[in-house]
Amino acid sequence: MKVKNRIIFWLFFIVISTLCWIDYQYFTEGHAHLITPLQRQIGHIAILVIIAPIGYAGWRFYGVHWIQKLWLVSHIAAICIIGAIGLIQWKTAAFGIGFLDQISSLRLFFTSPLPYFMLYIIHKAVYTQQHGNK
């Protein structure tokens, strides 16, 4: 891989980390008490929706197609699950606090830099397994 593409790949990691910090600072802790719960939820979803294409673009620069697809499918699935649960909860209040905490944990995971970095580690492990320690 070209050095330029590698630098861009890691710049996307920094952008994702920054967005995660913004999500945590403004919609989870920090200033979150200054806004309504609905505004916080919209902020969380907006950050998640922004992170998905940014991570995909980072993986496009890295050039590993199966990870691009894995990134995109997993983020679309997470957005759909969180959105569906949120809509059902908003309309019916069918879920308890424990279940909603688990959904919140799912959202927190996908609005962190961890999935991006985990896929990098997985790629490196697969590459090493296939090509030896080059």
State the chain's mean pLDDT as an integer.
Answer: 91
Confidence of residue 98 (pLDDT cuts 50, 70, 90): very high
91 vs 32: CA distance, rounded Å: 24
Quick check: 54 pLDDT over 80?
yes
What total number of domains does the chain contain? Answer: 1
- Tell me the whole-structure pTM to 2 decimals: 0.88
The whole-number pLDDT of residue 102 equals 95
Tell me the residue range of the domain where 75 lies.
3-131
User: pLDDT for 100-130, tens place per residue?
Assistant: 999 999 999 999 999 999 999 999 899 899 8
Confidence of residue 134 (pLDDT cuts 50, 70, 90): low
The whole-number pLDDT of residue 1 equals 63
The whole-number pLDDT of residue 133 equals 65
